[in-house]
């Protein structure tokens, strides 16, 4: 039987301060609890990677028009994402 590739996208809510909060010894631990039906998924990510991702994703979001065609208002909320490729057999 063949294997299927599944892409899982997970997002978390952070704030604007995240863009400037990074150091070589600072990491973020993101945890998805999976409705307590199975073990949680955990990602440990270097803060510089999170900062760059948060800034990039927010900048791109501001460029995309709202559903009514208007511009998004800049705000302090940030939503980085983690994309996971997994192979299901």
Cα–Cα dist 31/12, whole Å: 9
Residues in the chain: 89
Q: Locate the domains of the chain by residue range.
A: 4-88
Per-residue tokens: 59: 């900048």
Model confidence pTM above 0.85: no
User: 23 φ, ψ to 5°?
Assistant: -160, 160
pLDDT reported for residue 89: 36
Q: Can you give the pLDDT of all 89 residues of the chain as single tens digits?
A: 566 666 667 778 899 999 999 999 999 998 888 888 989 888 898 999 999 989 998 999 999 999 999 999 999 999 877 665 544 43
């Amino acid at each position: 039987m063949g294997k299927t590739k599944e892409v899982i996208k997970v997002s978390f809510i952070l704030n604007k301060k995240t863009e400037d909060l990074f150091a070589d010894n600072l990491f973020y631990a993101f945890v998805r609890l999976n409705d307590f039906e199975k073990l949680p998924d955990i990602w440990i990510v270097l803060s510089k990677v999170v900062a760059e991702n948060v800034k990039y994703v927010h900048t791109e979001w501001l460029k995309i028009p709202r559903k009514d065609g208007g511009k998004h208002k800049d705000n302090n909320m940030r939503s980085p994402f983690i994309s996971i490729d997994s192979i299901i057999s």
